[in-house]
Structure 1
């Protein structure tokens, strides 16, 4: 009579999503978005601006390059990855 209480739906853990492209030597950190895309944080040296830490979402295409602190850039890139639901773009 109460057999439905003992049945449980089997849950599976999804396979990890492979990065869209191999990381280049310039990539310092990668963050996985909610949709499975990758946010890449890099280091760039620009004339007149010095060292900056830009990041780009390989899912939605959002990019930002105005951080001179790696700590701030990492925090913002990670916040973007937490909220972004974009799936990986196909190459």
Structure 2
């Protein structure tokens, strides 16, 4: 049956639950009571530490972006939805 990754009964498949805000391994950033700290952040765009991807000075690397709609790499759900509407 389908489920969210945070509710996955297979702990090995889920991967480590390390908070990007405080570094704790018992919760994720969304559940953290600490404010986001860019000093602890690793950018998902350039992989460098010290800033969030939204603040990255490097050009966006679309090869690292996965669409939450179709699962393909290289675009977002917004782009996927726009393409779908054009086909109608």
Instruction: Work out whether the TM-score is over 0.5.
Output: no
Structure exhibiting the larger radius of gyration computed from Cα positions: 1
The TM-score normalised by the length of structure 2 is 0.23
Structure number with higher strand proportion: 1
Q: Tell which has more relative contact order, 1 or 2 (C-alpha 8 A, sep 6+).
A: 1
